[in-house]
Amino acid sequence: MMAKLTLSILAVCSALLTPGTTATNADNGQWILFNEISRVSNHSLMWGPYRPNLYFGVKPRIPKSMIAGLMWGKVDDFASVSQTVRHACEQSDDMAGYGWDEYDVRTGGHQVIRDPGNSIDIHTEFIKVEGGENGGHWGVRVKGIPRTGAPVDLKTMVVFYVGLEGLGSLSLQNEPDERGLVGDVTLEGSIPQLGEFKIDITVGPSTNKPPQIGHEKYWNEKPLDRTSYRSLKVPAEDVWKAKDILFMGLRDNFLKVKEKYGESNIPPPWQAFTIPNTFGLGNFHMVQKVFEGGFEFDILYSSASALTPMTTDILTEKIRTASKSFADRFENTFPREPPFNAPRYRQFAHNFFSNLLGGIGHFHGTSIVDRTYAPEYEEEDEGFWEEAKAAQARPDAAQPEGPTELFTSIPSRPFFPRGFLWDEGFHLLPVSDWDMDLTLQIVKSWISLVDEDGWLPREQILGDETRSKVPQEFQTQYPHYANPPTLFFVLTKFIDQLEEFQSKKGDSMNEHLDREPPSNLFSSDELPTIHLKNLEAALEYLRSIYPNLRRNYFWYRQSQSGEIRGWDRNAYSKKEGYRWRGRTPEHCLTSGLDDYPRARPPHTGELHVDLLSWIGMMTSCIKRVAAAIGEHDDVAEFEQHEYAIKKNIDDLHWSEEHQTYCDATIDDYEESAHVCHKGYISIFPFLLGLMEKDSEKLGKVLDLIADPEELWSDYGLRSLSKKDEYYGTGENYWKGPIWININYLAIQRLMEYGSKEGPYQKQAAELYKKLRVNVVENVYKNWEDTGYAWEQYDAETGKGQRTAHFLGWTSLVVKIMNMPETMSVVAAPLRDEL
Ligand SMILES: *[C@@H]1O[C@H](CO)[C@@H](O)[C@H](O)[C@H]1NC(C)=O
C-alpha cells in the first residue's frame, strides 16, 4: 500500500513537470538546472585513479588526453631488476595485500601496497581539490616505508610518468642539466578540455636520503641526490606501455656505462639502472628518484583555471580532513548492525568499500566485434554450437568497432580490469548508497553503449591496454550474446529511493518548482543525492536513458526468445520463455554461471529459468521507469509481460517431480522435459523476487536452501547442490563454490520474505539471520588470514580461491553488514511484491 501511495506521488509530480503545464521560463530554468548538475558533476568526477589496472595510475575522464602512473622497484642487484619493477597489478607480484583503505571519488583517499618482494610498503595518498573550471587540482603523496626485516640500506627507485595520448603539449620548466635536476621538477602543459596546467614533483622532506655513493666517478657525472628526467616522443597508441619505455631507458644507460667503465668497473645497479637525462620535446615525460631507506615526495597537479595552485601544505591538510570525513560519512552510510558492530569489522568494511570505489576506471578504445556470424541471431540448427566454434576460429571475421568510452567499476584490478555487465549492477548497489550521482553517471555510460539493435556487449574490452590482459580467443564480442541485465537492479533502487525522498518531501514540491534558476542552486557537497532531491533532474535523467533502455529490453526478448508453441508446451503465455544464445556442451558463458550444468547436449528447444527470471526482473523495473516518466502505453504492455512471465515461470519451469525450478529441453522422444540440477539456477525466481509469499513453492525453495546436504554450508549457499552428480567436478567454477553476489540476493530476499506475514515468514527470517552471519564471517576470516577478498569461496572449507583482490561484488558484504540482525516477526510490509 505504501508503495502505491508513493508511486502516485511520483506520478502526480511527474505530470506537473511535463512541459506545457509549466511556464516557459520554468522549463528554461529546469534546463539550466540539469546542465548545471551535469557540469558540476563532471568537474567533480573529472580526475581519479581511473587506471585501476595499475597499482597507481591517474587520468581524467577525457579520451585521448593524459595518463600518468607510478612504478617502483628495488635496485640492489643486476639480475632481478626486470622482476622487481611494479606497474600493472599482477598476481605474480605476490603482494601481501594492497588497495585503498579509504577512498571517495570526490575527495580522494589512501592506498597501501604491501610489497614483500621489494621489502617495502608503498603508500599513495591521493587528494582532489575543487577549484577553477576544469576539474580542479589533485595531488598524491607517495611514501615508501621499508617492511620489517628490510635491509638497512634498501635501495628503491621510483618513477613517475605523464604521457599525452592526443592533442596538447607538455614541457619541462626546470633548467635542463645533464647531471640531473635539482629541486622540485615542474612540467607545464595544456590539453583541450583541461586547459593549462602544471605538475610539480617535489623533492620531499629532508629525511629522504639518496643511496650511498657507489662509483665515485659516475656519481660525479650523475649524482643521485638529483632527479633523473627523460622526455621523448612516443606514438600515441604506445604511451600506455610505460614500463617498456622505462626499460628501454634503463638498458640504454646500462650499456653506456658498461662501455665507458668496463665490465669490471661498472657502477652498482642503483647507479647503472637510471634513466639517461634527456630534454627533447616529447609527449612522454618520466622522472626517476633513487632512495635509500624510507622516502616521501608529492606530485601536485594544478589547473591554471584556479586562482591558487596546489601545494604540499594543501595536500597535507586535505589528507587529514579527507580521512576524517570519510570515516564519519562511512559510519553514517553503512552503520554495521550486530554482530558486526564490533570494532574489528571497521577496517574490513572501509577497505572493501574503498576498493570498490577505487576500482572505478575510465576506458576508451575500439572493441572487437564479429557481426558476420548469425546475423539474425540464429543458432537454430542442430549442432549449432559446432558452427559457433568454427566461427570463433575465424578471427578475420572479427572487426574493430568504435572507439567508445566507458566509465565503470571493475571486478578485479589484477585479473579483470575492465567493465563486465553481469558484475556492474552488483557493484553499483553499495556504490549507490554512497553516491547516487556517480552511480547514475556510470549507468548512463553503460546504457549509452546500447547499439541500434538494442545490444549491449557484455564484456567491455576497450583499447589495446585493456586487451593486453585478455587472451585473444576471448576478445571478440558477438551481437547475439546476452548477459544478466543487472543494471536494472540499480534503476529499481533509484526509483525506490526517489519515491522515498519525494514522499518525505511531500508538499514542498510545488514550492520547489517555483524557484527561479539561480546559479547557486546547490553546492557540490549535495551532488551524491542531488537526483533524489530534485525530481525534475531525476525524471530528466530517466527520460534521457529510456530510449536505449527500452531498446535493450526488447532486444533481450527478441534475440534470446525460446520456442514454446513449436514444442507444444503447456503454458499460460506462448511467448514468455527464453534461451541463452552462445551455449556449448560444457558452458553457458553468457548466463554468467559459466559451467553450471545445463541440458546435454545443447538443444534449440531449451528454455532457461534464470533467463526468464532476469527478464521478469527487467520488466518490473522498466515498467516503473515508464510509469515515472508517463509512458502509459508502455506501462500497460509491460504489465502484461510481467503477469505472463510470473505464470510461465511456474508453467514452464516448476518440476513436480523434483519440487524445484528447472531448465527445460527436448528429450530423445521429442518431448519437452525438465533438466534439473539443484543450485543457484533452480532458485532464480526466488533470487529475483518473482515468487509470491504464500506460494507453497516458496516453502520448497527455502527447504532446499536450508538443507546442509544440498545448498546450505557454514560459509554461504553453494552454487550447486552437494547431491548433484556434477557437484565439485570439472572446472568446478559454478558447480559448488560459494559466490557472494548470489548469496547477497538470497539474503536480500530472505529479509523481504522474513518481514512479510505469511506461512514461510518465520522460516525465511531464521535462515536470513544465519546466512547473513555465515557469509560475512567467512569473507572476514579469509581477509584476516590473507589480506584479500576472493572471487569465490570453497564449498567445503570456506577458503577463498581463484582470483585474489576480487573487490567487485565480494564487497557486497558491506551492505550485508548494514542489514538488520533479525526480522521482527510482525513487521510492516516493506513494499508490494514486484
Ligand atoms: C558531462 O560529461 C558527459 C560525458 O562526458 C557529457 O556527455 C556531457 O555533455 C557533460 N555535461 C556538461 C554539462 O558538460
CATH number for 245 = 2.70.98.110
Please check whether residue 313 lies inside any domain of the structure: yes
User: Percent of the chain beyond pLDDT 70?
Assistant: 92
- CB 35 near ligand 1, within 6 Å: yes
> Does residue 299 surpass a pLDDT of 50?
yes
d(CA 508, CA 501): 12
Average pLDDT over residues 693-712: 98
- CB 42 near ligand 1, within 6 Å: yes
Q: Which of 644, 305, 617, 310 is nearest to 490 (CA)?
A: 617
**Using an 8 Å Cβ cutoff, are 26 and 123 in contact?**
no
Predicted confidence at residue 396, as pLDDT, reads 77
> Does residue 104 surpass a pLDDT of 90?
yes
Predicted confidence at residue 520, as pLDDT, reads 60
**Using an 8 Å Cβ cutoff, are 795 and 714 in contact?**
no
What separation, in Å, do the N-terminal and C-terminal C-alpha atoms of the chain show?
Answer: 13
Residue with CA nearest ligand 1 atom 14: 39
Predicted confidence at residue 517, as pLDDT, reads 47
Q: 24 or 300: which carries more pLDDT confidence? A: 300
CA of 161 to the centre of ligand 1 (A): 28
Q: Helix, strand, or coil here: 329?
A: helix
Ligand 1 closest atom vs CA 61: 5
Q: Specify the residue for cell string 577458503.
A: 799
Half-sphere exposure (CA, 13 Å, Cβ side) for 82?
4
Last residue of a domain, one of 333, 349, 384: 333
**Using an 8 Å Cβ cutoff, are 477 and 368 in contact?**
yes
Q: Which of 793, 574, 588 is nearest to 675 (CA)?
A: 588
Cα 831 to Cα 323, 360, 500, 529, 533: the distances in Å are 37, 32, 11, 22, 21
Number of H helices, E strands in the chain: 23, 28
- CB 193 near ligand 1, within 6 Å: no
Domain that holds residue 169: 53-333
> Number of structural domains, the chain?
2
Please check whether residue 592 lies inside any domain of the structure: no
Please check whether residue 413 lies inside any domain of the structure: no
> Does residue 508 surpass a pLDDT of 70?
no
- CB 38 near ligand 1, within 6 Å: yes
Please check whether residue 817 lies inside any domain of the structure: yes
Predicted confidence at residue 7, as pLDDT, reads 44
Cα 283 to Cα 85, 229, 753: the distances in Å are 23, 13, 59
Please check whether residue 10 lies inside any domain of the structure: no
> Does residue 632 surpass a pLDDT of 70?
yes
CA of 168 to the centre of ligand 1 (A): 20
CATH number at residue 782: 1.50.10.10
> Does residue 383 surpass a pLDDT of 70?
yes
Please check whether residue 116 lies inside any domain of the structure: yes
Copy the grid coordinates of residue 84: 622487481
CA of 37 to the centre of ligand 1 (A): 10
d(CA 796, CA 708): 11
Q: Which of 761, 668, 770, 669 is nearest to 717 (CA)?
A: 770
> Does residue 177 surpass a pLDDT of 80?
yes
Please check whether residue 129 lies inside any domain of the structure: yes
Burial 143-175 (b: 16+ CB within 10 A, else e): bbebeeebeeebbbbbbbbbbbbeebebebeee
Confidence tier at 770 by pLDDT (50, 70, 90): very high
Predicted confidence at residue 400, as pLDDT, reads 95
Residue type, 600: R
Confidence tier at 380 by pLDDT (50, 70, 90): confident
The residues annotated with a catalytic role in the active site are 594, 791
**Using an 8 Å Cβ cutoff, are 727 and 596 in contact?**
no
pTM of full prediction above 0.75: yes
Residue with CA nearest ligand 1 atom 7: 38
d(CA 636, CA 639): 5
Predicted confidence at residue 378, as pLDDT, reads 62
- Work out whether the CA dihedral 224, 227, 233, 234 comes out positive or negative: positive
Copy the grid coordinates of residue 363: 576506458
Last residue of a domain, one of 280, 310, 333: 333
Please check whether residue 349 lies inside any domain of the structure: no
Average pLDDT, the chain: 92
- CB 82 near ligand 1, within 6 Å: no
H/E element holding 324? helix 312-333
Last residue of a domain, one of 316, 333, 350: 333
H/E element holding 42? helix 24-44
CA of 44 to the centre of ligand 1 (A): 12
DSSP sequence for 132-152: TTTT-EEEEEEEEEEPTT--T
